[in-house]
Amino acid sequence: MNFIEQIIEEDIRNGKNDAKVQTRFPPEPNGYLHIGHAKSICINFGMAEKYNGLCNLRFDDTNPVKEDTEYVDSIREDIHWLGFQWAKEFYASDYFDQLYLWAEQLINEGLAYVDDQTQEEISKGRGVPTAPGIESPYRNRSVEENLDLFRRMRAGEFPDGSRVLRAKIDMASPNMHFRDPIMYRILHATHHRTGDKWCIYPMYDFAHGQSDSIEGITHSICTLEFEVHRPLYDWFCEALRIHHPQQIEFARLNMTYTIMSKRKLLQLVKEHYVNGWDDPRMPTICGLRRRGYTPASIRNFAETVGVAKRDNIIDVSLLEFCAREDLNKTAIRTMAVLDPVKLIIDNYPEGQVEEMTAVNNPEDPEAGTRTVPFSKELWIERADFRENADKKFYRLSIDREVRLKYAYIIKCTHIVKDDAGNITEIHCTYDPNTKSGMPDSNRKVKATIHWASVQHSKKAEVRLFDRLFSAEDPDNCAEGETFLDHLNPNSLVVTEAWVEPTLTLEKAMAIKHFQFERLGYFYADPDSTEEKLVFNKTVSLKQ
RNA sequence: UGCCCUGUGGUGUAAUGGUAGCACAGCAGAUUCUGGUUCUGUUUGUAUGGGUUCGAGUCCUAUCGGGGCAACCA
């Protein structure tokens, strides 16, 4: 049981909030969701689900200059894809009228004032954490003057940045957020939902807690950087005498070899270091989806990393483990040769073709079987043959035997090289009595390798991904470097593969997740066409 | 040198005064028509010094380390 569950269970025991649980996931629609958000989503929706409560989706859209409906749509899609349904969909902008009224209320009670100082003056007046700030010369205006000025701010009489509404709290507080925080700023910008109705917009601190309050949120779960905002969150709820949700902070997710900053992710997209938000190398939900991660694997990952308050850096191999664990049980097996070299079975009859029976998923008998054509000339992986094989290598070599999966045991006789010394053909003989399923087929051989019939197989494009960054902590930069200096130049390698002939576009897009035997898990990319299938490598098999 | 949060194997996370457990990673072995899966075994840990207690990862205290806070961002 994590610490949030402990708090919630104690609240339920004490009958707080009528023993009900109501949470919310509150993204700002200014970017795409990433794996860190997935953790938050799983916590918020998970707590609601576990304690028979509800979870809302609320867009925290108080800054029109950064927000866009494109992001709203992607966020909705990603949450649904993860497998969660929100009770209600809200927007902080739904509450702009109420928020405005509450602002006037605080002005009337002498708890807020209009400040005419410039941004620099306000910043300077706030002081530094180790020393108190100084009060604004406009701090003690009359209620009437404040009300008049605030209404004229709303009416559009003043330019951007000329005035703000501030809460009157304590310029000497050791908590910087108490040094008369800004509640409203003037922004003559078109909002994605309210259009041009407003030219003043509330700040996060004057919108978030109240939005929670209006929705009857009981447990407002957020990340650690909002911890210092909590006293302010509490202060506004108390000052306004409204329902007071409990803010609880947990440590955000960090992962090795990846960046989670929305700003930097946006930069990668805008400056074309990656091919869009859904590039399979991105830690975004849509990127992971296109990479071939399943919702279950991501949900299980979120469960496995746990919830606590200490900073953490999760090993990316845990995410990969979660992918393999899920995909192993569900992915349909197929044979594909990514780095081909020709194998010729000298004693196999010219022109003969056999249909070999292959198992679709050894972990799931219900998945059935299929047939794969077998002939005299096959493609095998270049790495499955080694001329000078040591004891640790137990695949094909001259005079050595291996099994061709679902087919025969073969023995390598000789190889042919080109002038440059590259192997162009591997010759072997087969034992006709060792066909899979035959009585003599159980002879032990050290290895089984996969293959593709030269005359039957079809070509497909395969996109091989490696980590986007080569540094474990891309943000840990030497003097004069940025995270971009740690970009892995080999994070994307496009290659051509030979795949089974029965793998049609229709079949690939229906099945989606494949295991290319002995290689890894692959996902049928939406770029696939009838002419050319495209597969993304999700993750390799272990080892 | 203000305030807040936080220190448990390599990485995460449990243990709520009573045998430091689990997962990932690593290593070794068994099984296997995937060097996958499965199974077994195994290396590695309570930041440090005092104190309270029959007993401390847990409580007290001091020290040290990590993170956050000074946007008209969220």
A78 phi/psi in degrees, rounded to 5:
-65, -40
Closest residue (CA) to C1' of nucleotide B4 is A228
**How far does the CA of A337 sit from the C1' of B38, in Å?**
26
Using the C1' atom of nucleotide B14, identify the protein residue whose alpha carbon is closest. A1
CA of A202: nucleotide with nearest C1':
B72
Nucleotide B22's nearest residue (CA vs C1') is A304
ipTM: 0.96
**pLDDT tens track, chain A, 543 positions:** 999 999 999 999 999 999 999 999 999 999 999 999 999 999 999 999 999 999 999 999 999 999 999 999 999 999 999 999 999 999 999 999 999 999 999 999 999 999 999 999 999 999 999 999 999 999 999 999 999 999 999 999 999 999 999 999 999 999 999 999 999 999 999 999 999 999 999 999 999 999 999 999 999 999 999 999 999 999 999 999 999 999 999 999 999 999 999 999 999 999 999 999 999 999 999 999 999 999 999 999 999 999 999 999 999 999 999 999 999 999 999 999 999 999 999 999 999 999 999 999 999 999 999 999 999 999 999 999 999 988 889 999 999 999 999 999 999 999 999 999 999 999 999 999 999 988 878 888 999 999 999 999 999 999 999 999 999 999 998 888 899 999 999 999 999 999 999 999 999 999 999 999 999 999 999 999 999 999 999 999 998
For the CA of A36 and the C1' of B21, the distance in angstroms is 27
CA A521 – C1' B45 distance (Å)?
35
Closest nucleotide C1' to the C-alpha of A187? B72
Q: Mention every residue, 6+ apart, whose C-beta is less than 8 A from residue A304.
A: A318, A322
Name residue A192's amino acid: H
Q: Tokens 């090795």 correspond to what residue?
A: A256
- CA A304, C1' B9: Å apart? 18
What is the rounded CA–CA span in Å between residue A145 and residue A163? 13
What is the nearest nucleotide to A516, using C1' and CA? B34
The pLDDT value recorded for residue A477 is 87
Residue A472 CA to B24 C1' — how many Å?
17
Query: How far is the C-alpha of A137 from the C-alpha of A150, rounded, in Å?
Result: 17
- The nt closest to A126 (CA vs C1′) is B70
Nucleotide nearest to A249 (CA to C1'): B5
* A350 CB-contact burial (10 Å; exposed 0-12 / middle 13-18 / buried 19+): exposed
Task: State the pLDDT at residue A474.
Answer: 95
Distance of C1' in B54 from CA in A153, Å: 71
Query: Catalytic residues of A, which ones?
Result: 28, 252, 262
Strand B nucleotides, any atom under 7 Å from protein beta carbons: they are: 1-8, 10-16, 23-26, 33-38, 66-74
Q: Quick one: which residue's CA is nearest to B71's C1'?
A: A123
Question: For B25, which residue's CA is nearest its C1'?
Answer: A317
Whether A263 contacts A66, CB under 8 Å? no
